[in-house]
Structure 1
């Protein structure tokens, strides 16, 4: 066999000189956005109809802060009711017992299929349907009885309407998270002698939290803004407080800006908290940022 001699220096191909790809569209988009942003900032700062001094005057007004406090309390308690109820409904929905599964499906169908405003009004006017609520033996003696108007006040109606409605949506979120865990995990736990409750609490639910947390954070942020719907039954929260103020001084736009500013601030804080909770439950998973997955960084030594 003839030996092949290595190529000489003159015969070797020259290295490729790669030219980076130009992206003129990006610069055009940046320029257009910069112009639009400058126009927006200019009109916000120069338009006297915004009445920024009035915004600053009422931003920390006692009625507004009282409404803000009620909004936070209602959001916290409604989400607590929704999460606890959603977990219970999801477990019932996945139960092999057809009665429990059917009851859960019926609940979710009813509360997701009717408007939230209608549910708030229903709970607020429950006394028109049941003037008195009692506990006792069916078709037998009553142990205790309550006046519905005293038991279901405005706050209770808001809490029931928001919390029970949220439970229907949280049930589907939790169910999706539980079903994302591999069935082999439950089978292995059962082989070790663990009960269904122990398997759910120790094995399935901790793994499902990685899937449950992101939509739960979104639901919490949505609940913060959804509390403004309780204005239909006159409960004093953030939006109701500013409405009562501008109904007397007719400064509608500045007072609405005050409410929007508080909502934006609270939403931003909740978004930051959601980020850290997601990172905590996402430990051990090889997941990068969304932008990094969609637009991975190019190695500068590689050609474009």
Structure 2
């Protein structure tokens, strides 16, 4: 009996000790949710891309302005793309000189309207080859176009888009004008020296310079401002399909066109007024009908003896603005297979 009581006493003592151990708090356990470190902490700062861009200066925009191109062989504009205020900066009107129609297709005509603007009533139509047109001296800017008032053949006045008019000079007067040969000499000098400022001063301020590098290719129109940069501009133009290879001819003015011009001017070239002269072609050569009232010279490099086929011709069209001759067009002919 004593052994049983002793056993029970030991059991109760062990039970009490166990309860006291369970009631002690466990301080190593977390007291709340863990603290999260933001994922960006400790990472290197991100470099902003726009900061790197400012370290490299952009090239001057005007130095790479591409010329205006038209996919058709002839530049026959439907409107003038200059802003309206350009009319005040346009070359002065020479009311003392008769004018002629240009840039109008053979089977088309130039509308004469009652007032400036294409919304005005048509009162007369001038043939594409019309000459003897006299200006009154009045002009207006309408929707970006320069309009001039003319004296109508049957009396009264009307308005036409000035882009389709040029001062008329007879072929006889043109061929006798020594200023034209001086103009071509200045072109030679500007090209040889890659002098953009000098070339710019030779380009027509009324219509720019229409460049026909390939006779059936695209036509590039250079304004005087654009002509200033042709020797430095890296703009790559598609000049059209080469008649020999059938491949697109692409390149800059100074890389593709300039060498062929210098090939002529560096040779003993010939000059023929108002007459197309070549070294022999497999195609029909002609001065565009739209240029009918623009005079020109043929600048011809004859073929080498024994080779003959390396001849080259550039036609130089000349427009008069306020009585002074300027370059209007350059058209390239060469032997084609």
What's the TM-score, normalizing by structure 1? Answer: 0.21
TM-score of the pair, normalised by structure 2: 0.20
Higher RCO by CA contacts (8 Å cutoff, separation 6 or greater): 1
Looking at CA atoms only, which structure, 1 or 2, has the larger radius of gyration? 2
Q: When you count strand as a share of all residues, which structure comes out higher?
A: 2
